[in-house]
Amino acid sequence: MKAVICGTGIDRVLGECQECSIETRFGKVQYLVKGDTVIIPRHMRNHSIAPGLINYKANVKALKELGCEACIGLYAVGSITSRLTPGSVGVIEDFLDFSARKLTFFDGISAPLRHTGMVNPFDRKLIVEFAKSWYKAGEKEIKSGIVYVMTEGPRLETPAEIRAFRNLGADVVGMTLASEAVLLNELEIPFAAAAYSINWAAGLDEEGVSFLEDETVERISQKLLKVSLDALKS
Ligand code: HPA
């Protein structure tokens, strides 16, 4: 079984899916099945769960228990550098975690302490499959080597925070990827992540923070979902 974990915008374009649920020791997970792929809309379909309140451990444990062999995560982000500008899509290759969440399956209390390596948190083969499907869908370019910084949210950042993140090497900002990347790596589920920018981050847009129009986000979301499902077939 393969899986997609998706977020803002994509939860609106999922269409017909079978609704299922599974009980894990971290809680119940509701998920969708489309063809032979499991889809977890991380904020639920009505976008009602804040990033800090998502049950990341239950979601990842559910994927493990369902026998997941590969997972693509899709992330709406704000642009910090022009390496990924609003409206474009890129593959994430590294991340910074500035959240207050310190999630692990291996804390030394409920399970033996384990220090999972994070040198290569993203699966090269899966990234290549994603890029191939992206080009097959008629796109000319996919940005690579993007660095993601995760904040706690749900508030957006201050301009000073964004300047600091840029100085630290971040290209885009979001609120969910690092939590999923860490847990998926801990349970050894091959993982690739694509980000789609929906705004310039705080302080980089004269008008404050303004988001792309819903129709544009939906168009990108449709494409990302289709490409992800295709990439996972390989
Ligand atoms: N900040 C944090 N998360 C985000 C943003 C942002 O500007 N845009 C989309 N997700």
Overall domain count for the chain? 1
Which residue among 84, 175, 211 has the greatest number of ligand 1 atoms within 8 angstroms of its CB, and so is best to mutate? 175
Task: With CA atoms as reference, report the closest residue to 42 among 9, 87, 77, 90.
Answer: 9
Question: Which of 199, 214, 217, 220 for a ligand 1 pocket mutation test, highest count of atoms within 8 Å of Cβ?
Answer: 199
Can you give the pLDDT at residue 46? Answer: 67
> Running DSSP on this structure, what letter comes out for residue 213?
P
Distance 169 CA to ligand 1 centre (A): 16
Residuewise pLDDT in 10s, the chain (234 residues): 999 999 877 878 888 899 999 999 999 999 999 988 999 999 876 668 899 999 999 999 999 999 999 999 999 999 999 999 999 999 999 999 999 998 999 999 999 999 999 999 999 999 999 999 999 999 999 999 999 999 999 999 999 999 999 999 999 999 999 999 999 999 999 999 999 999 999 999 988 899 999 999 999 999 999 999 999 998
Confidence (pLDDT) at 176: 97
Residue 154 · residue 144 · CB < 8 Å: no
Report helix, strand or coil for 201.
Answer: coil
Burial 116-133 (b: 16+ CB within 10 A, else e): eeeeebbbeebbebbbeb
Instruction: Tell me the pTM.
Output: 0.96
Pocket of ligand 1 (CB under 6 A): 76-78, 151, 156-157, 173-175, 198-199, 201
Q: Give me the domain span that covers residue 194.
A: 2-232
pLDDT of residue 203: 96
For the chain, the straight-line distance linking the first and the last C-alpha, in angstroms and rounded, comes to: 12
| The pLDDT value given to residue 34 | 93
| Ligand 1, atom nearest to 156 Cα | 1
The CATH number for 179's domain is 3.40.50.1580
Whose Cα sits closest to atom 9 in ligand 1? 77
